[in-house]
């Protein structure tokens, strides 16, 4: 069955989640932070993900913006910068303005030219996603932006992946699902989507019940997959 619908995770897949910390580190007067930013970016992202899973298991759902703040607070404290309120606010501001990876606009444009539906499916809150899409200027290249907030539970809950078929009226076999998170790509594969794991770091495949169909080092090869 041909691919009709291309669905992308947002943070870490289309949007560079390290961009906020990297940009802040380059600003004048942030020499101390500049020594810590790679570790803070890594710990921030790790805690952000862990808190989605833990809150799901505990049945204590909050919006992704709260999760993002909690993860940052943990990361800053872990690096000895937890008392810098101005830095915290600057990093959170920059998170609303994340850059896409360089290949993203051309990749999405090629998919639209090929007649494919394109959308985001993300743990992000609708206002966060709207801000990121507008800041990056990719809104015209997307048919929709789907958030887990409509179902009140984070990925990889199956009800989240249900949102794609509900919105586009497509069978799972018609969907190409793309994520930089190995666990997300594995869960989507188990759901029945065709899956691509964008494995920029060259990590091993997660030991889960299903595995991604393909791995790519970036997103530039996605249009060729749906044409093939």
- Report residue 123: phi and psi, to 5°: -70, -15
Q: 9 catalytic, yes or no?
A: yes
Q: Which of 9, 16, 117, 184 is catalytic?
A: 9
CA distance to 60, 95, 129, 131, 211, per residue, from 98 (Å):
27, 5, 10, 9, 29
Local structure of 111: helix, strand or coil: helix
The position carrying tokens 């606010």 is 89
Measured at the alpha carbon of residue 103, what is the angle toward residues 52 and 199, in degrees to the nearest 5? Answer: 45
Q: Give the span between the Cα atoms of 97 and 20, in whole angstroms.
A: 8
Query: Which residues share a beta bridge with 177?
Result: 7, 195
The position carrying tokens 């609303």 is 96
Residues belonging to the active site = 9
């Amino acid at each position: 069955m041909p691919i009709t619908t291309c669905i992308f995770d947002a943070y870490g897949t289309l949007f560079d989640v390290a961009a906020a910390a990297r940009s802040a580190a380059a600003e004048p007067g942030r020499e101390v932070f500049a020594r810590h930013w790679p570790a803070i970016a890594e710990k921030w992202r790790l805690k952000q993900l862990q808190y989605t899973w833990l809150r799901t298991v505990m049945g204590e759902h909050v919006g992704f913006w709260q999760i993002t703040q909690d993860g940052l607070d943990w990361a800053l404290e872990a690096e000895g910068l937890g008392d810098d309120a101005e830095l915290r606010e600057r990093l959170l501001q920059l998170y609303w303005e994340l850059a896409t990876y360089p290949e993203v606009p051309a990749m999405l444009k090629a998919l639209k030219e090929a007649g494919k539906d394109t959308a985001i499916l993300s743990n992000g809150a609708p206002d966060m996603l709207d801000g990121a899409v507008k800041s990056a200027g990719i809104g015209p290249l997307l048919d929709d932006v789907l958030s887990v907030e409509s179902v009140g539970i984070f990925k990889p809950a199956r009800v989240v992946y249900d949102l794609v078929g509900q919105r586009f009226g497509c069978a799972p076999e018609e969907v190409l699902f793309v994520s930089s998170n190995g666990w997300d790509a594995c869960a989507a594969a188990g759901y029945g989507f065709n899956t691509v794991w964008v494995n920029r770091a060259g990590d091993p495949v997660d030991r889960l019940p299903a595995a991604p169909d393909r791995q790519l080092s970036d997103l530039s090869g996605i249009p060729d997959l749906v044409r093939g």
